[in-house]
Amino acid sequence: MLSHKKPDSVINVKVEFGEGEGKVPLDNIAKRVKAYKPKERVTYKMIKEYIEAKYGFKVHTAYIAEVKRELGLPMYDAPNAVGELKKPRKHPTAEKVEAIKEALKHFKII
C-alpha cells in the first residue's frame, strides 16, 4: 500500500565539483565516462545490410535467428513471439548460412 506518511528524517548532501579540497574533480568523472562505453548492440538490420552489401543477396531475419539458434548464441525475447508456429521454420540454404556466419564473425558475435 502507498502511504502519505512524512519521512522520519532527511539527509541533505551537498556536492561541489571542481578543483580543491573537498571537491569532486571533473577530470576524473570525464575519464570514467570515456572509459565506460557499452558495447554496441548488433541488430538484425545491420547484419542484413552487411550481407546484402558484401554478397549481393538478402537474407530474412528468420534465417539469422535460425543460424544463431543452431550456434547456441544468446537470443533476446521477442515481444511478438508466438507459442506455437503456424508453419514449420524454413531453413536457409548453405550459401546463406555461410554468409550469416561470416557476418556474425565480422560483428564479433562469434
Q: Is residue 75 in some structural domain? A: yes
Q: Is residue 21 in some structural domain? A: no
β-partners of residue 17 are 24
**What is the span of the domain harbouring residue 86?**
44-106
pLDDT in tens, 28-66: 888 888 888 787 889 999 999 999 999 999 999 989 999
Q: Is residue 27 in some structural domain? A: no
Number of structural domains (the chain) is 1
Q: Is the pLDDT of residue 4 over 80?
A: no
pTM exceeds 0.75: no
Q: Is residue 62 in some structural domain? A: yes
Q: Is residue 33 in some structural domain? A: no
Q: Is residue 65 in some structural domain? A: yes
